């Protein structure tokens, strides 16, 4: 493996943690579930006679979005909240399975990013659960750009807007008495998304056509929205994303982007690091290029909109250098 997944709250790399999926018979014996947010004060009638809508999200990114819209009328369980856990390789445990078996709504990224959740839904024996798949909602998985689908959809603001709209519809159907709350929360959330898109448009007006290099395609939707041009060798970013070593000549080609290729901005996933990504980042810094870290999970204490705003602010500062 050429990389390790590290927690942005610590400079020390963390080993990827892998849960063990317990037998279905043991699920019935459990009463706990993963961390959840939002007070149980909703008045809607939902599956199982609960007074609140129970939502399970594959990651804290989608969990936060659901909580922002549902407010006190929902309880949200985010399965992956630890940056050291890779959704591509994650295996759920019995507590996660129990949460899915009781969920009214499941929110997943899709596109191969969090397939573990599909397996959990299939074995949950919960026929009434509503599954919201961001990739399917976006429509981007039907016509992937350049023959490959970038599954990191939370960096695509229009997709998140579509997901928010779908959440309102589904929540309202489950708890019509709380429809005004959902609508008001969604309006506030949409205003934040509109502000993010306005920032992207502003940056595009100033920096469209600027060359950029990346470690992997995590931030590409946002970079594309700003009009930046990714010139990273595909073999390098594919190797990083796949957790393998790129060939030495590919690494050298990537490093040369900053010395002879005119690239002044390097955007890297700070949660997946290794000797090769560190070497490329060092080359970028030595050549005077700006570097911007991005992550796949929420920073501590952040909301989705705040996180995206901070990322855009970092890009703006870097581009202005």
Q: How far apart are CA 275 and CA 206, in angstroms?
A: 34
Contact yes or no for 61/154 (Cβ under 8 A): yes
For the segment 162-213, what is each residue's pLDDT rounded down to a tens digit? Answer: 999 999 999 999 999 999 999 999 999 999 999 999 999 999 999 999 999 9
Q: Which residues of 280-314 are buried (b: 16+ CB within 10 A; e: fewer)?
A: bbebbeebebbbbbbbbbbeeebbbbebbbebbeb
Of the pLDDT bands very low, low, confident and very high (cuts 50, 70, 90), residue 123 is very high
- Please report, rounded to a whole number, the percentage of residues in the chain having pLDDT higher than 90: 73
For the segment 241-299, what is each residue's pLDDT rounded down to a tens digit? Answer: 989 999 999 999 999 999 999 999 999 999 888 999 999 999 999 999 999 999 999 99
Output 127 or 37, whichever has higher pLDDT. Answer: 127
Do residue 132 and residue 43 come from a single domain? Answer: yes
CA distances from 99 to 145, 217, 256 (A): 35, 31, 49
If you ran DSSP here, which 8-state letter would residue 291 be given? E
Residue 47 belongs to some domain of the structure:
yes
Mean pLDDT to the nearest integer, 85-110: 88
- Inform me whether the pLDDT recorded for 82 exceeds 90: no
Q: What residues form DSSP beta bridges with 311?
A: none
Q: Which of 143, 163, 195 is the last residue of a domain?
A: 195
CATH number at 88 reads: 3.40.50.1980
Range of the domain at 166: 15-195
Contact yes or no for 90/19 (Cβ under 8 A): yes
Do residue 164 and residue 236 come from a single domain? Answer: no
Query: What is the pLDDT at residue 40?
Result: 32
CA distances from 94 to 21, 91, 97, 123, 172 (A): 6, 10, 5, 11, 30
Contact yes or no for 110/136 (Cβ under 8 A): yes
Residues composing the chain: 321
If you ran DSSP here, which 8-state letter would residue 87 be given? T
Q: How far apart are CA 139 and CA 157, in angstroms?
A: 14
Of the pLDDT bands very low, low, confident and very high (cuts 50, 70, 90), residue 47 is low
The structure tokens 């204490």 sit at: 301
Query: What is the pLDDT at residue 144?
Result: 55
Query: What is the pLDDT at residue 30?
Result: 33
Q: How far apart are CA 309 and CA 195, in angstroms?
A: 9
The residue among 87, 98, 86 whose CA lies nearest residue 33 is 98
Do residue 119 and residue 172 come from a single domain? Answer: yes
Of the pLDDT bands very low, low, confident and very high (cuts 50, 70, 90), residue 46 is low
Residue 295 belongs to some domain of the structure:
yes
Do residue 185 and residue 223 come from a single domain? Answer: no
Contact yes or no for 2/246 (Cβ under 8 A): yes
Q: Which of 195, 211, 244 is the last residue of a domain?
A: 195
Residue 2 belongs to some domain of the structure:
no
Do residue 102 and residue 187 come from a single domain? Answer: yes
Q: How many domains does the chain have?
A: 2
Do residue 99 and residue 64 come from a single domain? Answer: yes
Q: Which of 195, 229, 259 is the last residue of a domain?
A: 195
Does the CA dihedral 6-292-109-34 come out positive or negative?
positive
Of the pLDDT bands very low, low, confident and very high (cuts 50, 70, 90), residue 145 is low
Do residue 180 and residue 50 come from a single domain? Answer: yes
Do residue 140 and residue 168 come from a single domain? Answer: yes
Do residue 54 and residue 113 come from a single domain? Answer: yes
Do residue 19 and residue 58 come from a single domain? Answer: yes
Residue 268 belongs to some domain of the structure:
yes
Q: How far apart are CA 122 and CA 26, in angstroms?
A: 17
Residue 5 belongs to some domain of the structure:
no
Residue 8 belongs to some domain of the structure:
no
- Inform me whether the pLDDT recorded for 23 exceeds 80: no
Where are the alpha helices (H) located in 11-125, listed in sequence order?
Answer: 24-27, 60-70, 94-101, 115-123
Residue 9 belongs to some domain of the structure:
no
Residue 6 belongs to some domain of the structure:
no
Do residue 176 and residue 68 come from a single domain? Answer: yes
Do residue 191 and residue 221 come from a single domain? Answer: no
- Inform me whether the pLDDT recorded for 53 exceeds 90: yes
Mean pLDDT to the nearest integer, 2-20: 39
Mean pLDDT to the nearest integer, 86-109: 88
Q: How far apart are CA 227 and CA 87, in angstroms?
A: 28
């Amino acid at each position: 493996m050429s990389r390790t997944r590290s927690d942005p709250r610590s400079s020390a790399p963390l080993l990827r943690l892998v849960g063990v999926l317990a037998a279905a018979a043991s699920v019935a014996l459990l009463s706990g579930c993963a961390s959840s947010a939002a007070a149980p004060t909703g008045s809607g009638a939902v599956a199982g006679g609960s007074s609140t809508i129970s939502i399970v999200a594959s990651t804290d990114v989608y969990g936060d979005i659901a909580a922002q819209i549902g407010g006190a009328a929902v309880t949200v369980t985010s399965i992956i909240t630890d940056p050291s856990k890779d959704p591509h390789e994650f295996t759920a445990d019995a507590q996660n399975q129990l949460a899915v078996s009781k969920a009214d709504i499941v929110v997943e990224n899709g596109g191969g990013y969090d397939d573990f959740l599909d397996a959990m839904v299939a074995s949950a024996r919960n026929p009434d659960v509503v599954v919201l798949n961001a990739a399917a909602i976006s429509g981007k998985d039907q016509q992937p750009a350049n023959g490959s689908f970038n599954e990191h959809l939370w960096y695509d603001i229009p997709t998140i807007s579509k997901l928010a709209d779908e959440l309102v519809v589904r929540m309202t159907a489950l708890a019509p008495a709380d429809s005004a709350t959902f609508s008001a929360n969604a309006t506030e959330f949409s205003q934040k998304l509109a502000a993010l898109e306005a920032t992207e448009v502003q940056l595009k007006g100033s920096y469209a056509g600027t060359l950029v290099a990346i470690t992997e395609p995590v931030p590409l939707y946002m970079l594309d929205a700003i009009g930046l041009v990714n010139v990273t060798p595909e073999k390098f970013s594919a190797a990083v994303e796949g957790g393998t070593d790129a060939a030495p000549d590919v690494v050298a080609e990537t490093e040369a982007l900053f010395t002879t290729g005119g690239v002044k901005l390097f955007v890297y996933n700070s949660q997946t690091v290794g000797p090769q990504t560190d070497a490329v980042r060092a080359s970028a810094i030595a050549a005077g290029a700006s570097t911007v870290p991005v992550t796949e999970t929420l920073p501590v204490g952040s909301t989705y909109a705040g996180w995206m705003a901070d990322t855009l602010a970092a890009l703006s500062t870097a581009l202005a250098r």
